[in-house]
Structures are given as structure tokens and as C-alpha cells.
């Protein structure tokens, strides 16, 4: 269990609040702050007697670094840990230059911002536009043979798909199918036609898995359908619903 972070002690001077015309409106500005970087905080942790021997020790030391950083920020210091920066501020109006700090009228507020290392990584993060959001998804796959969920598939067994917009509907030009595909290559291993489905609803599709899948191999399920949100209209061309749930053949 993490040790409780020590509360700090802040010092400040009251100054007139220039945002108002009230002569009895003051704010508290903190004084005496120093700047601590990661190595400074680590040295403070080491002065407390910390040592690192194992992974657990390293995790504990990281926790102590964070707690020491928070502690020093609550002493009125600006703390930069490369990944985050933290300091404290005081909110609330002081009605005289000597008014005592009292809660809940006044409060100490943590100010946390991203450090330069975080900002550098964020500014170099790649973003890929995957196109319009898909409202159709296979959210759960149940192997009725093994009773497992999102785990395996049985050759010759029964598979049940749950999700949204799953109804398998096609046309003479574009017959609808449920495909069982190689998870590594996407190659179709088996396909089930619309007429062979045991259940075919927008939220549930169930079918018997064809025999011949390779034990130990990993597969995913895809659905090709022209179904829309209405029972009468079809899409001009099929849409493909691809499950990201990997199933191992047992």
C-alpha cells in the first residue's frame, strides 16, 4: 500500500486583486519557491534512505519519487519531473491583508501540466484517419460448444455472434456471407451463406462452423452484408464487418 503523501506548508504574501475595484479584495502570492528537476527529487529520495534492488524496489522508488515531488510542490516549489510539472496555487478572496487562510473559503489547488518529454512525444505522435465511424460491430463471440466467450472456435461446432448491425442480408448480385478467416493473413478459410444461418438478427448471428479448421490455428470472423437500418432497403454495395476478436481453434 502506498505511503500517504505528506502535506506541505505554503507561504505567501497578500496583494491587492487588480481584477476588482474592491479595496478589501486580496489574493495570496506564494513565495520562496525553488525549482526541482527529476535528479533533484531522486537525490531527496536517496537522502531519505531509499535503495533499488529489484523490480519491486524500482516501483517503490518511483512511487517515492512521485510522493516526494508532490510533497515539494506543496512546499511552494515548482517541480519538473520531465514527464509532468507540478506546483500549488491558492484560491479564494482575502478580505484584508492579514486575513487568516480558512477552508472552505480558501483552498490549495494542485496545478499539473505536461512536461517537455510528454509534449515532445505527443507532438510526434502519428494520427491516422480511419474514415467515418462504424456503427456495426461484433462485440462478443460465444462458442456454444465450449461455452467460452471471445476465446476459441470449434470446427463443426456452433458459433454465436453478438453486436450491432450484424444482420446478414444480400442480393442476387452480392450474396451475403459470414467468413471465417486466417487471423494472420485475412485469407478466407470457410464461408457460411445466409441461408445456412441458425439465427440472423441485427444483434445476433448464429451458425454452425464448417468442419476442416486447423486445431491450434487462430481465426477471426467477418460479415459481408447489404443490410441497412431498415428491413426493406439494401446498400448498393456490401459492407464488411471485421471482428477484432481472435479465436483459437480447439
**Residue 89: CB partners within 8 Å, gap ≥ 6?**
30, 108, 109, 111
Looking at the fold, whether 211 and 151 belong to one and the same domain comes out as yes
Q: What DSSP letter does each residue of 167-199 carry, written as one string?
A: -----SSS--EEEEEETTT--EEEEEEGGG-SE
Of 95, 123, 151, the residue at which a domain comes to its end is 123
Q: Helix, strand or coil for residue 63?
A: helix
Q: Helix, strand or coil for residue 239?
A: strand
Question: What is the distance between the alpha carbons of residues 94 and 119, in angstroms, rounded to a whole number?
Answer: 36
- The answer to whether the predicted template modeling score (pTM) of the entire model surpasses 0.85 is no
Looking at the fold, whether 52 and 141 belong to one and the same domain comes out as no
Determine contact, residues 63/2, Cβ cutoff 8 Å.
yes
Tell me if 4 is assigned to some domain.
Answer: no
Query: What was the pLDDT predicted at 181?
Result: 96
Of 123, 157, 183, the residue at which a domain comes to its end is 123
Listed as ranges, residues in the chain with pLDDT below 50 are 1-2, 130-133
Cell triple for residue 8? Answer: 506541505
Question: What is the distance between the alpha carbons of residues 167 and 127, in angstroms, rounded to a whole number?
Answer: 32
Q: What is the pLDDT of residues 176-203, one digit of tens each?
A: 999 999 999 989 999 999 999 999 999 9
State the Cα angle at 218 between 217 and 220, rounded to 5°.
145
Residue position matching grid coordinates 505522435: 125
Interstrand relation of 26-30 and 12-16 (parallel, antiparallel or unpaired): antiparallel
Select from 88, 81, 86 the least CA-distant residue to 37.
81
Of 75, 92, 123, the residue at which a domain comes to its end is 123
Query: What was the pLDDT predicted at 194?
Result: 93
CATH code of the domain in which 37 resides: 4.10.520.10
Tell me if 89 is assigned to some domain.
Answer: yes
Cell triple for residue 155? Answer: 470446427
Query: What was the pLDDT predicted at 209?
Result: 96
Task: Give the Cβ contact number of residue 238 at 10 Å.
Answer: 20
State the Cα angle at 39 between 35 and 41, rounded to 5°.
65
First to last CA, the chain: 41
Looking at the fold, whether 141 and 243 belong to one and the same domain comes out as yes
Query: What was the pLDDT predicted at 133?
Result: 46
Q: What is the pLDDT of residues 119-163, one digit of tens each?
A: 888 888 877 554 444 567 898 999 999 999 999 999 999 999 999
Query: What was the pLDDT predicted at 134?
Result: 53
Q: What is the number of helices (H) and of strands (E) in the chain?
A: 3, 17
Looking at the fold, whether 150 and 224 belong to one and the same domain comes out as yes
Looking at the fold, whether 175 and 199 belong to one and the same domain comes out as yes
CATH code of the domain in which 234 resides: 2.70.50.70
Range of the domain at 69: 12-123
Tell me if 131 is assigned to some domain.
Answer: no
Q: Is the peptide bond before 104 cis (omega within 30 degrees of 0)?
A: yes
Looking at the fold, whether 158 and 55 belong to one and the same domain comes out as no
Amino acid at each position: 500500500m502506498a505511503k500517504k503523501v505528506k502535506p506541505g506548508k505554503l507561504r505567501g504574501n497578500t496583494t491587492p486583486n487588480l481584477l476588482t475595484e474592491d479595496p478589501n479584495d486580496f489574493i495570496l502570492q506564494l513565495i520562496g519557491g525553488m525549482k526541482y528537476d527529476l535528479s533533484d527529487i531522486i537525490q531527496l529520495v536517496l537522502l531519505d534512505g531509499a535503495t533499488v534492488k529489484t523490480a519491486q524496489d524500482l516501483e517503490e522508488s518511483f512511487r517515492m519519487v512521485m510522493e516526494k515531488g508532490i510533497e515539494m510542490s506543496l512546499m511552494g516549489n515548482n517541480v519538473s519531473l520531465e514527464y509532468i510539472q507540478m506546483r500549488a496555487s491558492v484560491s479564494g478572496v482575502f478580505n484584508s491583508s492579514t486575513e487568516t487562510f480558512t477552508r472552505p473559503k480558501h483552498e490549495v489547488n494542485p496545478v499539473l501540466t505536461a512536461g517537455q518529454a510528454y509534449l515532445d512525444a505527443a507532438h510526434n505522435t502519428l494520427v491516422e484517419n480511419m474514415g467515418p465511424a462504424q456503427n456495426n460491430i461484433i462485440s462478443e463471440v460465444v462458442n456454444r460448444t465450449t461455452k467460452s466467450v471471445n476465446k476459441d472456435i470449434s470446427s463443426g461446432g456452433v458459433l454465436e455472434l453478438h453486436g450491432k448491425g450484424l444482420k446478414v442480408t444480400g442480393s442476387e448480385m452480392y450474396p451475403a456471407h459470414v467468413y471465417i478467416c486466417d487471423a494472420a493473413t485475412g485469407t478466407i478459410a470457410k464461408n457460411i451463406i445466409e441461408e445456412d444461418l441458425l439465427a440472423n438478427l441485427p444483434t445476433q448471428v448464429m451458425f454452425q462452423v464448417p468442419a476442416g479448421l486447423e486445431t491450434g490455428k487462430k481465426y477471426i470472423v467477418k460479415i459481408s452484408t447489404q443490410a441497412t437500418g431498415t428491413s426493406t432497403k439494401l446498400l448498393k454495395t456490401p459492407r464488411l464487418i471485421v471482428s477484432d476478436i481472435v479465436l483459437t481453434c480447439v
